[in-house]
Amino acid sequence: MEGLEMLLKLNFEIHGKVQGVFFRKYTLAQAKKLHLVGWVKNTSHGTVVGVAEGHKHQITDFKKWLRNTGSPKSRIDKADFKESQVTHKSFKDFDIHK
């Protein structure tokens, strides 16, 4: 049934102490663990943004991790999410963008 499950695209922006604390590295590891594709990067205004694509249960777990866990030294003040349904994945892997 895995193939019939809804595919979602998640746009996220994480606010707080999320730069200089290996947030992107941990996000990459978590995304790969959940078999998500997409990317993550730092912004010039101190947040971390990204896109993740995967099945609904994977996206739900990822959102929970982004909102509550992050990297060991991070402090997450706010997590903004925007979800949309997609018919196919736009990425082959999950990467860190510079």
Residues identified as active-site: 24, 42
- How far, in whole angstroms, is CA 84 from its chain's centroid? 14
Instruction: Determine contact, residues 47/65, Cβ cutoff 8 Å.
Output: no
Instruction: Determine contact, residues 19/46, Cβ cutoff 8 Å.
Output: yes
